Amino acid sequence: MQLPYDEERLGVLLRLLRPAPEAWVRAAQELPGARRTLDEIVARAEADLAFRTALIADLERALVAEGYEPDRRFLNEIRDRLTEN
């Protein structure tokens, strides 16, 4: 580590760690809830053939019809999980 620190150097280092966009941070903090929702959808798709068929036919529309508000990442993950199963 470079020592001693003068004011200019401290300023440079403080500026390096700028806050991430608030929406990104919020989405990351909401991950546990999103994961639970995802698990519920996959579990339901395994138990309910009609729901699974609707998801495979048009994933986004089927989820919106069920009251979900899926974003791109959520859709990709569900798609991957359905493919795995």
**Residue with Cβ nearer another protein (10 or 65):** 10
Q: Is the peptide bond before 21 cis (omega within 30 degrees of 0)?
A: no
What DSSP designation does 4 have? S
Q: Shortest gap between Cβ of 64 and another protein (angstroms)?
A: 21
Q: Is 50 in the site for another protein (CB under 8 A)?
A: no
The string over 5-36, giving b where at least 16 C-beta atoms fall within 10 Å of a residue's C-beta and e elsewhere, is eeeeeeeeeeeeeeeeeeeeeeeeeeeeebee
Nearer to another protein, 35 or 61 (CB): 35
CB of 38 to another protein, least distance (A): 10
Q: List contacts with another protein (CB under 8 A).
A: 1-5, 7, 10-21, 24-25, 27-29, 31-32, 35, 73
